Amino acid sequence: MTTLSTMDAFEAQDLTVARTPTQEAWRRFKKDKLGLVFLVVIAIYFFVALWAGTFGWGGSYEVAGQTRPAYEASMGQLGIQLDGKPFPESQVPPNLAGGANTMLGTDALGRSVFYRGLQSTKVAFIVGTFGALLSVVIGMTLGLLAGFLGGWVDRVVVFVYSTLASIPYLLLMLAIAFVVKKGDFANWYDDLKIGEFDVSDFISLGLLNLVVVIGLTSWVTLCRLVRAEVFKVRELDYVNAARSLGFGTGRILFRHVLPNVFHLVIINFSLTFVIAIKSEVILTFLGVGVDKEPSWGQTIAGAKNELMTGIWWPLATAGTLLFGLTLAVNYVGDALRDALDPKLKT
Amino acid sequence: MIQYVIRRILYAIPVLLVVAFITLWLFDIAAGDPAAIKLGKNPSPEAVAALHEKLGFDDPFLVKYGKFLWSTATLDYGVSFTDDTPVRTIFARGIGPTLSLTIPAFLLGTLVSVVLALLVAFYRGSLLDKTMTVVAIAAISISSLVYILVFQYVLADQWKLFPIWGYDYGFGAITFVALPVLIWILLSIGTDMRYYRTVALEEISRDYVRTARSKGVSERKVLFSHVLRNCLIPIVTRMAIIVPFLITGSFLLEIFFGIPGLGNTLYTAIGNSDLPVIKAFTMLGTVLYVIFDILADVSYAVLDPRVRLQ
């Protein structure tokens, strides 16, 4: 309590207060009010994604004014086996008007546009988070090793990423997607069970595919940045001090060097998150993305045919929801870059 | 400099060898048996064997790899799976329509981005600058597919300002590529403008700008003659990096607007699992990237006498 009031007193007199780098970054980030607003937006999307499954159940049968079992039975008569899966197919013809559950109308297949839009956040978050995570882990680790160890390790890493960067991005993504989706791996993954738990039921092959494709193709930028930064950092006194204390390479790398380049990792995570959810749309359109779960990519890809009959609202909904999340992450990423850059003093 | 270029070319060779290996390996795993694609359902075993023989399907991997490298060296990738057209002919057919779309789009887009970037750098910190930054972030947050669908639907389908679909060789192409060009510019402007703005701001804070100002040069002249000239290096370098994407970058635009270019060719090839075409695309894309990467570095040295390549 005393420390806090001392700090306040210092601050009131505009004297320098010692803050940890994280506190300093947060203090600077807070100044950007729009950034805070967008942070809340991301949080809302995240909670919608967490509860996406629940939304699905409601939207599916209430559209037709039925209970779930009755709805499943009526679907069964039409030859559509729902088997408890949240695919809300109603009998309402495509229109823009609707009740509470179809407030944004229904699509060409009679599904609630509103609920599908909300359900899709789940795919966006899985692809964005895990795709970016995989990419960041690869880029960070290779960048740290190459920059710190130098020598042949550095040469190998540089060779790997310059090779990868020279392959046309789209074709590389497609090649990896083909291997994951069509090769022996697909069969192996379909049968993969941990105990009684079927892995492919939890994360479908299409989703896993996207995560792998994005993780493997988008780590180069971060790797380059981290490598260059570590080059600068590794001769600094604190690293030498750690060495002279007899710390191992692993400890120096992850406890001492990593915190000094971690701002790059955070910023890059937000950038890759955006790349991932945008790539989902393109890859799903090309037929190598998500096919089981509802996703914005599916809705947008399907809009190509829907627009011919004038059904524009599914595209508008999915496009707007996607835009909202991307804009929020882009803006927060930008604000983070400003807040985390130690050279910018405000 | 010549020594530098030669060394870069020599360094590119192992890169290309590895890319060829990856391409062949990935697509070979993914593709499965070409007989299933070419001969339809239930082919006779003799026909399958004959086809395997002809395509060298049963060759060991190293033999295939050797053949593939030879194809890249001679730029002869054999014939397409679907209709036996030589891959070379397919490329020759597609390159014209693609470039008629991407070159004007690329040049106009760069021009607009640079002018806008200089403008907001000139009025830095003002309301205009802040608005443009937010607009640019918003513009890059929209999925490219949404751009295409919305513009096609509103401008071409509803308002009938542009043709929806199709292509005409010669000067008639202008009406068909106009809308795709517009979309390309809108797609690239957000990223490009922000990049060039950073470049311009970095230059504006330099000493020579202060000198020019202090000797009474007008602000406009400082910007467009002193600053712009020094910005040329990053601008040209960035342009050189983008050039390889002029071949594949219009992929989606070509599909949606029915332009019979390379992107459309690739899309058809992917749909048909036409491996010779896909593999040729990957390799040629890589070769172009490597060439223009070297050119970007060389242009550095040519434009800036202080840069010495070693």
Q: What is the pLDDT along chain A (346 residues), one digit of tens a residue?
A: 445 566 666 565 555 677 787 888 888 888 888 889 999 999 999 998 887 765 544 344 444 444 556 555 655 555 555 554 444 444 445 555 555 555 677 776 667 788 788 888 988 999 999 999 999 999 999 999 999 998 999 999 999 999 998 888 888 888 888 788 776 777 788 777 777 777 777 778 888 889 999 999 999 999 999 999 998 888 889 888 998 998 988 899 988 899 888 889 999 999 999 999 999 999 998 888 887 778 899 899 888 888 888 888 889 999 999 999 999 999 999 888 888 876 654 4
State residue A97's pLDDT score: 54
Q: d(Cα B247, Cα A20) in Å, to the nearest integer? A: 49
Q: How many CB atoms lie within 10 A of CB B224?
A: 14
Q: Report the chain B residue with the minimal C-alpha distance to residue A317.
A: B146
Nearest CA-CA partner of A278 in A150, A132, A79, A167: A132
Taking CB atoms and an 8 Å limit, are A171 and B285 in contact across chains? yes
Nearest to A278 among B30, B138, B143 (CB): B143
Q: Report the chain B residue with the minimal C-alpha distance to residue A320.
A: B142
Q: d(Cα A269, Cα A329) in Å, to the nearest integer? A: 10
Taking CB atoms and an 8 Å limit, are B141 and A182 in contact across chains? no
Taking CB atoms and an 8 Å limit, are B18 and A322 in contact across chains? no
- Say which residue, B32 or A282, is predicted with more confidence: A282
State residue A160's pLDDT score: 93
Q: Measure in Å the smallest separation between the Cα of A35 and chain B Cα atoms.
A: 12
Q: Which residues does chain A have within 8 Å of residue B246's beta carbon, measured at their own beta carbons? A: none
Q: d(Cα A226, Cα A257) in Å, to the nearest integer? A: 10
Q: Which residues does chain A have within 8 Å of residue B282's beta carbon, measured at their own beta carbons? A: 167-168, 171-172, 175
State residue A300's pLDDT score: 92
Taking CB atoms and an 8 Å limit, are B270 and A176 in contact across chains? no
Q: Which residues does chain A have within 8 Å of residue B14's beta carbon, measured at their own beta carbons? A: 159
Q: d(Cα B74, Cα B284) in Å, to the nearest integer? A: 12
With an 8 Å Cβ cutoff, the interface of chain B facing chain A consists of 14-15, 18-19, 22-23, 26-27, 29-32, 137-138, 140-146, 149-150, 152-153, 157, 244, 248, 251-252, 256, 270, 278, 281-282, 285-286, 289-290, 293
Q: Which residues does chain A have within 8 Å of residue B281's beta carbon, measured at their own beta carbons? A: 168, 171
Contact B105, B181 (CB under 8 A): yes
State residue B19's pLDDT score: 92
Q: Which residues does chain B have within 8 Å of residue A212's beta carbon, measured at their own beta carbons? A: none
Least confident of A12-21, A187-196, B123-132, B141-150: A12-21
Taking CB atoms and an 8 Å limit, are B256 and A304 in contact across chains? yes
ipTM of the complex as predicted: 0.86
Give the tens place of pLDDT for each residue, B51-110.
777 777 777 888 888 888 888 888 888 888 777 888 889 889 999 999 999 999 999 999
State residue A343's pLDDT score: 61
* Nearby residues of B143 by Cβ (< 8 Å), 6 or more positions away: A278, A281, A282, A296, A300, A319, A322, A323, A326
Q: Measure in Å the smallest separation between the Cα of B217 and chain A Cα atoms.
A: 30
Q: Which residues does chain A have within 8 Å of residue B140's beta carbon, measured at their own beta carbons? A: 330
State residue A198's pLDDT score: 74
Q: Report the chain B residue with the minimal C-alpha distance to residue A276.
A: B143
Give the residue from B8, B13, B141, B158 with the most A CB atoms within 10 Å of its CB, the best one to mutate.
Answer: B141
Chain mean pLDDT for chain B: 86
Taking CB atoms and an 8 Å limit, are A319 and B143 in contact across chains? yes
Q: How many CB atoms lie within 10 A of CB A209?
A: 26
Q: Measure in Å the smallest separation between the Cα of B248 and chain A Cα atoms.
A: 8
- Say which residue, A82 or B145, is predicted with more confidence: B145
Nearest to B30 among A178, A285, A312 (CB): A178
DSSP character string of B90-140: HHHHHHHHHHHHHHHHHHHHHHHHHHHHHHHHHTTTSHHHHHHHHHHHHHH
Q: Measure in Å the smallest separation between the Cα of A344 and chain B Cα atoms.
A: 14
Nearest to A282 among B26, B145, B248 (CB): B145
Q: d(Cα A172, Cα B279) in Å, to the nearest integer? A: 11
Give the tens place of pLDDT for each residue, B244-255.
888 777 889 999
Taking CB atoms and an 8 Å limit, are B30 and A179 in contact across chains? yes
State residue A288's pLDDT score: 84
Q: d(Cα B303, Cα B107) in Å, to the nearest integer? A: 19
DSSP character string of B209-229: HHHHHHTT--HHHIIIIIIHH
Segment B205-232 shows an average pLDDT of 88
Taking CB atoms and an 8 Å limit, are B144 and A307 in contact across chains? no
State residue A188's pLDDT score: 80
Q: Measure in Å the smallest separation between the Cα of A62 and chain B Cα atoms.
A: 30
Q: What angle do CA B226, B228, B234 make, to 5 degrees?
A: 125
HSE of A22, CA atoms in CB hemisphere, 13 A: 3
Q: Measure in Å the smallest separation between the Cα of B63 and chain A Cα atoms.
A: 21
Number of A to B CB contacts under 8 A, please give it.
111
Contact B235, B110 (CB under 8 A): yes
State residue A187's pLDDT score: 78
Taking CB atoms and an 8 Å limit, are A168 and B289 in contact across chains? yes
Taking CB atoms and an 8 Å limit, are A182 and B30 in contact across chains? yes
Segment B8-21 shows an average pLDDT of 91
Nearest CA-CA partner of A293 in A113, A87, A112, A131: A87
Taking CB atoms and an 8 Å limit, are A166 and B19 in contact across chains? yes
Nearest CA-CA partner of B212 in B230, B197, B187, B194: B230
Taking CB atoms and an 8 Å limit, are A168 and B248 in contact across chains? yes
Contact A330, B140 (CB under 8 A): yes
With an 8 Å Cβ cutoff, the interface of chain A facing chain B consists of 159, 162-163, 165-168, 170-172, 174-176, 178-179, 182-184, 274, 278, 281-282, 285-286, 296, 300-301, 303-304, 307, 312, 315, 319, 322-323, 326-327, 330-331, 334
Secondary structure string (H, E, C) spanning chain A? CHHHHHHHHHHHCCCCCCCCHHHHHHHHHHHCHHHHHHHHHHHHHHHHHHCHHHHHHHHHHHCCCCCHHHHHHHHHHCCCCCCCCCCCCCCCCCCCCCCCCCCCCECCCCCEHHHHHHHHHHHHHHHHHHHHHHHHHHHHHHHHHHHHHCHHHHHHHHHHHHHHHHCCHHHHHHHHHHHHHHCHHHHHHHHCEECCEEHHHHCCHHHHHHHHHHHHHCCHHHHHHHHHHHHHHCCCHHHHHHHHCCCCHHHHHHHHHHHHHHHHHHHHHHHHHHHHHHHHHHHHHCCCCCCCCCCHHHHHHHHHHHHHHCCCHHHHHHHHHHHHHHHHHHHHHHHHHHHHCCCCCC
pLDDT at B307 exceeding the cut of 90: no
State residue A60's pLDDT score: 44
State residue A87's pLDDT score: 43
Q: d(Cα A10, Cα A13) in Å, to the nearest integer? A: 5
Q: Report the chain B residue with the minimal C-alpha distance to residue A287.
A: B271
- Say which residue, B229 or A198, is predicted with more confidence: B229
Q: d(Cα B279, Cα B3) in Å, to the nearest integer? A: 32
